[in-house]
Structure 1
Amino acid sequence: MSSAQPVPAPSPLPDERKALLARVVDGLDAPSLWWLSGYAAGLAQGHAGPQLSLLQGHAPLAAATQRATVVYGSQTGNAKRAAEKLAQELEAAGLGVRLLRADAYPQRELAGERLLYIVISTQGEGDPPDDAIGLVEFIAGKRAPKLPELKFAVLGLGDSSYADFCGIGRRLDARLAELGAQRLFALGEADLDIDSIAAPWRAQALTHARELLKAPAVPLATVTPLRPHGAVSPPPVAWTPERPFSAEVLLNQRISGRAFRNAPFRQYGPFDKDVRHIELSLAGSGLHYEPGDALGVRQRNPAPLVDAVLQALRLDGDEAVTQAEETLPLREWLAGKRELTKLSRPFLASHAALGRAEALNDLLAPARNAEFAALLGDHQLVDVLRRWPAPWEAAELVAALRPLAPRLYSIASSRKRVGEEAHLTVDVLDYQAHGHAHLGSGSGFLAALDEGAHAPVYVEANERFRVPADASRDILMVGPGTGVAPFRGFVQERAETGAGGRNWLLFGARHFDTGFLYQTEWQDALRNGELHRLDVAFSRDQAEKVYVQQRLRENGREVWDWLQNGAHFYVCGAIAMGKDVHAALLDIASEHGALDRDAASEYLTKLQTEGRYARDIY
């Protein structure tokens, strides 16, 4: 049976206005488009001419007493989605609301805010996400205004497998109160199972907003609707973490070499690196991604990992366990529903109490945060179970463990070159520690997939990690190890679109012959002009270790010249490396830009807020 499709109304705009509109909306994210739609609707109601101050964001969209402001800082998209949900709920209740990414928030308006909700994720060890750096520094700094008339609430998102869980959320919450603002209700601290905390936090936020704001009988033209008046809500994304697409594995190939153990200067762990290049088919999914985005993988914990936990606890994997009205064998809970490789403070506290493990309980004290962080980085669940035995029952264990979170992998390809495929670069964690073999959850799952098998996947957008919209801009890319993955996609994208800007890659690994990922591709790219410069650092191939940050300092004058001429700078890889690269950039700005330390720091912050210095660190 067929049904008539609605015919779009003819556009009233002349061709030159259509072209102008296309230029205005090009590259805008969803919150920006929602803002623009509300602004246009307001103009239509009043038949007023455009007000430049509104278009430039120089004035509030509604009187501060008539609306709530929702600001989010997000690294992987979780905080953005949580903020969007709150804004949609406020709008549905007929309340005035504006939704802003932290780097789009006009800082001068903070003094005039009356109701502010902040949703912010913690990046790494207590750092703000890149899009919130400027706002966080402003609120924490001397220029922040006193806020006696502001009412606020903060929702922090984090990962309790890090010692400074929701650290930036806690500091923002405390600082706003210090500035005289009134906290409406307690800080929300959401772990990987975000909605268990975020949903009741949003409910409280909505209740307070209803009490503090009065919904007008007729919508105000100055209130920003989150979608155009009368428009149908866009269809939900087809594939999500809860409903992933089953992608066929087209290729699963090891791309790290094997070492010659008699070579000079070599320092080896028990195993050589196993890095995989994995190609997945997205055919028929409708999934789209841009270089810089990540692919989420709904993995299962490897069977040896599950067996080790069951053996340590002497539990029966076939025992039926019911949680939240779902009944599964214990083995299935552990394989597909619970975290086994990442520890959390709440679980360790429960385990210490159950096992009467005073030594473990002592590690949870705030004064021992460094030792606690070392424990989180060095132990999996099974190590804790072996080191500090405790009499867990199956149902209690399932209730205490965190839900299994999908793993995110930077996409190592451009759709313009590979079509309906997504390529990944995966470092397989398979190592010996505490006398036993250890496996990574996501990487172990992917490594075991044969060609023709399927992986449950979805796309996680990363809007702040994109090639420049201005294709004439140069780019510098720092990506040691598997951090090089997104830059493979960047170079492919820039080549396929004929970008005029130069591409400079700085790559690092332990050894040239075992760790130079995509070596022949980079050499081909240099020959054919897709890559204009390549600098490498192989830290263990000589007596003195050499890292990518040293290559940056050695080429500091050229790095500074590129940045001064408008280049974009990207970093992808481990948190510690990201901090070392940031320190190198500070040194370069100080030495070659003649800036003192404070001015150099402000310069880098400016680059970040402008979107010219982007990081994807983990």
Structure 2
Amino acid sequence: MSNLPNENSPSKANPFSSPLLVNRLLTEGSGKETRHFEFCLKDSGMEYLPGDSLGVLPTNCSEVVADLLNAVGLTGEEQVEAGDRSMSLSDALSGYFACTVLSKMQIKKFNQIAQSDQLGELLEVANKEALMEFMWGRELIDLFLEFPQSGMDAETFISFLRPMAPRLYSIASSLSAHPDEVHLTVAVVRYEGYGRKRKGVCSSYLAERVGESIPCYLHPNKNFKLPEDGNLPIIMVGPGTGIAPFRAFIEERKTNGASGRNWLFFGDRSQSTDYLYGEELDAYKRDGVLNELDLAWSRDQEEKIYVQNKMMEKKAELWSWLQDGAIFYVCGDAHRMAKDVDQALKRIVAEEGSMSEEDALAWVKGMQRERRYLKDVY
């Protein structure tokens, strides 16, 4: 199967309207909301491979649009240019412009009108950390609520805005196992900040729908693929929603009868509420599809345990798999998890391979050059 798009394939500019078939909560009783979505691809012509992503084009929540218009002092009926089309400001805010995320450039442009001493001070080079702290948890609407501007026209207002970007999600299914379907695993963002309830634009857009058609397109990822040789072993590290592509990998290997061994490291807060696809994974382990399944729960005991801790516990076996040519995959949080896993991997190579720190680093770099150490992190 090829996943190279042709000129008629759905794209960001010409998405496919895919019926949302299933919207299921995976984390009943958890402090986090993670959902499983299934979309119908029938008649779309879309073919994907495990490791690819799905681009979703959301619309902004009607309450967010109404609140923003009210804060700016506009009705929404004003006509504006959005891309190459003329439409009402309300429609433009709903489907074309990003209305929530606040950037330094927006603050800078806003302050050319507001002339706020406070914002001016934050924008000084020396106050980079203070600016980041100011932006944390704030949205565009907060600028207008905290620094009210009267008489702003629609054209000036949209000059602060950027086009809304699609959201890319790692695909959580194998097309071989689920013909005409694509599945996603999505952490839904909801929080309170500065006296207002906030939510992620795309994650909440999906969470609040079922049965509707969702504009989407495929985004191939040639740098995160299963090996062509199904005999090779693979090691997958994917805590939280990082499980998504590995669910696809496991389904693909099972469906195609690949003989290579499979090892998954998964983790989250609590096994009772956050074991994403737990029944599936346990069944794969019982049936021998997963040769190894190591689970790390950070809040089920006094000491926090993470996937990198489980790697260290199994360092001798992990090193043996690497010696056998295993491909090592990591998916999930780039800021902490992926760095911690990387450090654990280098430590395992040094300790089990009896190498110096410098030689272990070179060995891991060799894995990367040989495409045996692959990451899908965000």
State the TM bucket, normalised to the shorter chain.
over 0.9
Tell me which residue corresponds to 1:424: 184
The aligned length equals 376
- CA distance in 2 between partners of 1:598 and 1:359 (Å): 48
Q: 1:526 aligns with which of 264, 285, 295?
A: 285
Change (3 A) 1:288 1:515: same
Any conservation in 1 of the 2:82–2:92 contact (CA below 8 Å)? no
SS at match of 1:252: strand
- Structure 2 CA distance for partners of 1:390 and 1:543, relative to 1, 3 Å: farther
Does residue 455 (structure 1) correspond to residue 226 (structure 2)? The answer is no
Structure 1 SS opposite 2:358: helix
Confirm whether residue 467 of structure 1 aligns to residue 226 of structure 2: yes
Question: Secondary structure, in 3 states, of the residue corresponding to 2:47?
Answer: coil
RMSD: 2.1
Q: Give the 3-state SS of the residue equivalent to 1:287 in structure 2.
A: coil
Q: Distance in 1 between matches of 2:239 and 2:133?
A: 23
Tell me the amino acid that sits aligned with residue 441 of structure 1.
Answer: V
Is contact 2:176–2:255 with CA below 8 Å preserved after alignment? yes
Partner of 2:25: 254
**Structure 1 residue 397 and structure 2 residue 121: aligned?**
no
Q: Call closer, same or farther: CA 1:386–1:286 in 2, change over 3 Å.
A: same
Instruction: Report what 1:414 is aligned to.
Output: 174
Do the aligned partners of 2:177 and 2:255 also contact (CA within 8 Å) in 1? yes
Query: Structure 1 residue 428: deviation in Å?
Result: 1.0
Supply the distance in 2 between the matched residues of 1:517 and 1:394 (Cα, whole angstroms): 45
Alpha-carbon distance, 1:388 to partner: 3.8
Q: Within 5 Å, which residues of 2 pair with 1:11-26?
A: none
**Which residue identity lines up with residue 298 of structure 1 in the other structure?**
L
Distance 1:385 1:605, change over 3 A: farther
Q: Which residue of 2 aligns with 1:604?
A: 364
- How far is the alpha carbon of 1:433 from its aligned partner? 1.6
Q: In the TM superposition, what is the alpha-carbon distance from 1:549 to its structure 2 partner?
A: 1.5
Matched, 1:356 2:115: yes
Determine if the alignment matches structure 1 residue 595 to structure 2 residue 370: no
Residue type matched to 1:257 in 2? Answer: E
- Residue 273 of structure 1 deviates from its aligned partner by 1.5
> How far did residue 371 of structure 1 move?
4.2
Shift of 1:250: 1.1
Equivalent residue in structure 2 for 1:571, among 306, 323, 330: 330
Shift in CA distance, 594/394, structure 1 to aligned 2, threshold 3 Å: farther
Please give the alpha-carbon distance, in whole angstroms, between the structure 2 residues aligned to 1:562 and 1:360: 55
Q: For structure 2, which runs of at least 5 residues remain unmatched after alignment?
A: none
TM-score if structure 1 supplies the norm length?
0.58
Task: Report the CA distance between 1:237 and its aligned residue.
Answer: 4.1
The aligned amino acid for 2:300 is D
Asked if 1:295 corresponds to 2:66, the answer is no
Inter-partner Cα distance in structure 1 for 2:332 and 2:131 = 23
Matched, 1:280 2:39: yes
- Which deviations, in whole Å up to 9, do the C-alpha atoms of 1:530-563 show, x marking residues without a partner? 1111111111222222211221222222222211
Structure 1 residues without counterparts, runs of 5 or longer: 1-25, 31-233, 260-271
Match of 1:488 in 2: 247
Question: Measured at CA, do residues 517 and 592 of structure 1 come closer, stay the same or move farther in structure 2, by a change above 3 Å?
Answer: same
Retained in 1: the 8 A contact 2:82–2:96? no
Provide the rounded CA distance (Å) in 2 between the counterparts of 1:487 and 1:372: 38
Percentage of matched positions with identical amino acids: 39
1:55 matched to which residue of 2? none
Amino acid at match of 1:238: S
| 1:477-531 deviation line (CA, Å, top 9, x unaligned) | 1111111011000000000111111111111111212111101000111111111
Structure 1 residue 546 corresponds to structure 2 residue 305: yes
How far residue 599 of structure 1 moved from its aligned partner, in angstroms, is 2.6
Structure 1 range deviating more: 497-506 or 590-599: 590-599
In the alignment, the residues of structure 1 paired with residue 84 and residue 179 of structure 2 have an alpha-carbon distance, to the nearest angstrom, of 42
Residues of 1 paired with 2:355 and 2:113: CA distance? 55
Rounded Cα–Cα distance in structure 1 between residues aligned with 2:226 and 2:170 = 14
Aligned partners of 1:411 and 1:423 also within 8 Å: yes
Q: Are the structure 2 counterparts of residues 370 and 595 from structure 1 closer, same or farther at C-alpha, using a change threshold of 3 Å?
A: farther
User: Which residue number in structure 2 is paired with residue 446 of structure 1?
Assistant: 206
User: Which residue identity is paired with 2:95?
Assistant: G
How far apart, in 2, do the equivalents of 1:492 and 1:342 lie? 36
Tell me the alpha carbon deviations over residues 88-117 of structure 1, each in whole angstroms, 9 at most, x when there is no partner. Answer: xxxxxxxxxxxxxxxxxxxxxxxxxxxxxx
Distance 1:546 1:606, change over 3 A: same
Distance 1:603 1:374 in 2: 39
Distance across 1 between alignment mates of 2:142 and 2:323: 50
Give the Cα separation in 2 of the matches to 1:613 and 1:298: 31
**1:360, CA displacement in angstroms?**
3.0
* Counterpart Cα distance in 1 of 2:315 and 2:64: 46
- Find the residue that maps to 2:17 and give its secondary structure: strand
Distance 1:467 1:402, change over 3 A: same
Give the 5 Å matches for 1:109-128: none
Deviation at 1:344, TM superposition (A): 2.4
- The answer to whether the Cα contact below 8 Å between 1:412 and 1:422 also exists between their aligned partners in 2 is yes
TM-superposed CA distance for 1:343, in Å, is 2.5
1:253-273 deviations in whole A, cap 9, x for unaligned? 1111214xxxxxxxxxxxx22
Structure 1 distance, partners of 2:253, 2:185, is 20
SS of equivalent residue, structure 1 residue 417: coil
Aligned residue for 1:353, secondary structure, equals helix
Question: How many angstroms apart in 2 are the aligned matches of 1:324 and 1:296?
Answer: 20
Amino acid at match of 2:24: Q
What's 2:144 paired with?
385
Alpha-carbon distance between aligned partners in 2 of 1:563 and 1:237, rounded to the nearest angstrom: 41
Q: TM-score, normalised by structure 2?
A: 0.93
1:440 partner amino acid: G
Which residue is 2:94 aligned to? Answer: 335
| 3-state SS in 2 of match to 1:312 | helix
Query: Which residue number corresponds to residue 319 of structure 2?
Result: 560
C-alpha separation between the residues in 1 aligned to 2:317 and 2:149?
58
Structure 1 pair 248–506 and aligned structure 2 pair: CA distance change class (3 A): same
Distance 2:80 2:308 in 1: 50
How far, CA to CA, are the matches of 1:436 and 1:513 in structure 2? 31
When Rg is computed on C-alpha atoms for both structures, the one with the higher figure is 1
Aligned partners of 1:548 and 1:425: how far apart in 2?
Answer: 19
